[in-house]
């Protein structure tokens, strides 16, 4: 009964009744259903976007809308969907307006999502990374660990294949092991003219500020930005959840709230609210991004005791979008901790935070290099103080026009380590990766001489490489595989990764590379986490088997570790 009450509250529309005015489709373009199967499926035409408008009401209230949608009026290229798991028994009204509105006749209830390819096995689909079953993915949001489950929300427009603010929903997936993900219903739905939801965060309501928690079952709080196509654009919204993050409650007192003193500095729009509980003072902290007109990018800090009234406490200039703030022990020492503040462009500061102001210890730095990884977030409330990060992996090179577009990076464990140059943030693949290994080989003390390259099995599929070599007197070490070249140059202490440069000096006389190859992506970690880089991989050229080849120039090189592990797919087996 309590769960039904929460779900009912989630459909309360707090910004008034949406008026379709002259855009209301005719009765011929409207169909009604009773939700008695898991999915409501819609016929999609391939393409980045289209000219159709989709409206979905639940029990007479606006529930979901999407504009610029490429609907198929016959012979769909594939099907997209809404998951009805949380609204079984509800009355659903669907309308389509546009040149392909005849496609309304193909909309239907289903317990499966049909398609010409098995789900998650379409061309270009990642096999060891999360990607949306349908539509577009960008900024990870609302990431939190709670009661044994990892929750990953993300910007999603499943009725088109473009980043589109007014159509932006929060897709939602859960995992028990950070490897295998199950998508559920959208966590936050867009309704044209009322709201669309952009990047945000999540936290546990440990002191029951919302009053909705129960003994042993605290509420969660999600923070999101109301997007650009709404009466209350670029305002911040908070959503409690009482069912462990599977659905949220729309509370008018916690939505569409302009923050203090922000009106005169709206700039590109106050957005990307990150919420956290600051235990030493038993208060809430909210950090948002803004760029005042004529001013600088920056993070703005606010505090609250009740999640409704906020006071500005400080500004940190020079930071760009998607703030993250977290605390880590240095070298694993719990008695020596530092705070890290992080932006979408992967720049970070190490410093201190007193609940009001972040004070950097030194210069802004980067561990994550390149231009194909951004908008990352870390899981709140992770066990043991662990900081696990997932970012948006860009696949712009491939211009996906069918089932899905874009992907999440592989989860990374973040740590702080002392170096001769000071405290630095390190990032490496989570150790759970080892659970996906499917045999392979592990070689030690392999000497490669100039003119005698080592040829190893094909790695054009999904593979993990763990390499460690003593460069000796070699001038260059080159590792080639399908759509991947890694070239380490001794004179420059630089790794060339598919033409991108990564600083890489030997550490204790050795160079370490940890490489993850998926169908559309390549990721490299150097020296146990000193640097990380994500790059797209041209999956369309993976048809021919390509051996892994390692060569040396100017002298012998000794590989003390040369591990190759094929990886099992995290995706469901077709037909099961």
Beginning with the edge strand found earlier in the chain, give each strand of the sheet holding 149-157 in spatial order. Answer: 182-183, 169-175, 149-157, 135-146, 404-405
Q: CB–CB of 239/217 below 8 Å?
A: no
Q: Taking 90 as the threshold, does the pLDDT of residue 557 lie above it?
A: yes
Q: Taking 50 as the threshold, does the pLDDT of residue 7 lie above it?
A: no
Tell me how crowded residue 501 is: count the other CB atoms within 10 A of its CB. 14
- Is 139 annotated in the active site? yes
The answer to which of 24-28, 334-338, 359-363 has the lowest mean pLDDT is 24-28
pLDDT band per the 50, 70, 90 thresholds, residue 528: very high
Rg (CA), the chain: 25
Q: Taking 80 as the threshold, does the pLDDT of residue 491 lie above it?
A: yes
Higher pLDDT, 459 or 249: 249
Q: pLDDT by residue (tens digit) across 541-553?
A: 887 778 899 999 9
Q: Taking 70 as the threshold, does the pLDDT of residue 563 lie above it?
A: yes
Across residues 409-431, what is the average pLDDT? 98
pLDDT given at position 264: 64
pLDDT band per the 50, 70, 90 thresholds, residue 575: low
Across residues 267-285, what is the average pLDDT? 91
- CA nearest 229: which of 291, 165, 161? 165
Q: Longest C-alpha distance within the chain, in Å?
A: 78
Instruction: Classify strands 135-146 and 149-157 as parallel, antiparallel or unpaired.
Output: antiparallel
Pick 440-566's CATH classification: 2.60.120.560, 1.10.3720.10, 3.30.1540.10, 3.40.50.920.
Answer: 2.60.120.560
Q: Taking 90 as the threshold, does the pLDDT of residue 496 lie above it?
A: yes
Across residues 273-300, what is the average pLDDT? 94
How does the average pLDDT of the chain come out, rounded? 91
Q: Which of 100, 139, 205, 297 is catalytic?
A: 139
pLDDT band per the 50, 70, 90 thresholds, residue 283: very high
- What number does CATH give the domain 135-431? 2.115.10.20
Q: Taking 60 as the threshold, does the pLDDT of residue 576 lie above it?
A: no
Q: Where in the chain is the domain with CATH 2.60.120.560?
A: 440-566
Q: Where in the chain is the domain with CATH 2.115.10.20?
A: 135-431
pLDDT band per the 50, 70, 90 thresholds, residue 1: very low
pLDDT given at position 354: 98
Across residues 118-126, what is the average pLDDT? 93
Residue the block writes with tokens 């044209």 = 192
Q: CB–CB of 460/545 below 8 Å?
A: yes
The answer to which of 100-109, 175-184, 261-270 has the lowest mean pLDDT is 261-270
* Angstrom distances, CA of residue 443 to CA of 134, 151, 561: 41, 37, 6
- CA nearest 295: which of 311, 273, 313, 319? 319
pLDDT given at position 17: 30
Across residues 201-205, what is the average pLDDT? 98
């Amino acid at each position: 009964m309590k769960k039904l009450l929460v779900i009912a509250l989630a459909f309360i529309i707090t910004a008034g009744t949406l008026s379709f005015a002259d855009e209301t489709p005719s009765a011929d373009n409207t169909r009604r259903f009773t939700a008695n199967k898991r999915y409501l499926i819609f016929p999609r035409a391939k393409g980045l976007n289209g000219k159709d408008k989709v409206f979905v009401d639940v029990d007479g209230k606006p529930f979901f809308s999407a504009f610029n949608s490429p609907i198929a009026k016959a012979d769909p290229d594939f099907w997209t969907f809404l998951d009805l798991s949380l609204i079984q028994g509800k009355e659903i009204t669907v309308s389509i307006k546009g040149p392909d509105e005849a496609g309304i006749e193909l909309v239907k209830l289903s317990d499966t999502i049909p398609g010409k390819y098995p789900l998650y096995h379409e061309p270009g689909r990642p096999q060891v990374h999360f990607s949306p079953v349908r539509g577009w993915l960008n900024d990870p949001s609302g990431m939190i660990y709670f009661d044994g489950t990892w929750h990953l929300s993300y910007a999603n427009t499943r009725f088109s294949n473009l980043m589109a603010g007014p159509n932006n929903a929060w897709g939602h997936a859960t995992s028990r092991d950070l490897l295998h993900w199950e998508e559920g219903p959208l966590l936050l739905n867009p309704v044209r003219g009322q709201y669309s939801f952009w990047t945000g965060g999540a936290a546990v309501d440990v002191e029951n500020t919302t009053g909705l928690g129960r003994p042993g079952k605290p509420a969660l709080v999600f923070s999101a930005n109301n997007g650009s196509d709404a009466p209350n654009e670029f305002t911040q919204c908070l959503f409690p959840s009482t069912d462990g993050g599977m659905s949220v409650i729309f509370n008018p007192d916690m939505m569409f709230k302009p923050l203090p003193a922000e009106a005169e500095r709206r700039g590109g729009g106050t957005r990307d609210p990150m919420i956290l509980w600051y235990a030493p003072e038993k208060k809430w902290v909210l950090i948002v991004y803004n760029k005042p007109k004529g001013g600088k990018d920056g993070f703005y800090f606010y505090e609250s005791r009740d999640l409704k009234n906020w006071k500005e406490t400080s500004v940190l200039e020079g930071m760009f979008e998607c703030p993250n703030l977290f605390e880590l022990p240095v070298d694993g020492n719990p008695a020596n901790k530092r705070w890290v503040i992080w932006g979408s462009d992967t720049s970070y500061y190490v410093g201190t935070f007193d609940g009001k102001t972040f004070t950097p210890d030194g210069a802004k730095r980067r561990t994550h290099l390149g231009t194909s990884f951004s908008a990352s977030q870390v899981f709140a409330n992770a066990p043991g103080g662990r900081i696990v990060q997932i970012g948006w992996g860009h696949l712009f090179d491939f211009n996906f026009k069918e089932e899905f577009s874009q992907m999440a990076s592989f989860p990374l464990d973040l740590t702080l380590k002392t170096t001769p140059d000071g405290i630095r943030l390190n990032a490496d693949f989570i150790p759970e990766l080892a659970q996906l290994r499917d045999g392979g080989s592990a070689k030690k003390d392999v000497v490669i001489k100039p003119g005698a390259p080592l040829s190893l099995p094909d790695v054009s599929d999904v593979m993990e490489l763990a390499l460690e070599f003593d460069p000796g007197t070699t001038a260059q070490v080159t590792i080639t595989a399908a759509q991947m070249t890694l070239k380490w140059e001794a004179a420059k202490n630089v790794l060339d990764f598919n033409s991108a440069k990564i600083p890489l000096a030997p550490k204790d006389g050795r160079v370490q590379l940890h490489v993850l190859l998926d169908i559309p992506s390549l990721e490299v970690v150097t020296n146990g986490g000193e640097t990380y880089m994500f790059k797209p991989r041209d999956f369309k050229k993976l048809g021919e088997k390509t051996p892994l080849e390692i060569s040396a120039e100017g002298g012998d090189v000794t590989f003390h570790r040369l591990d190759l592990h094929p990886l099992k797919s995290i995706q469901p087996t077709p037909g099961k």
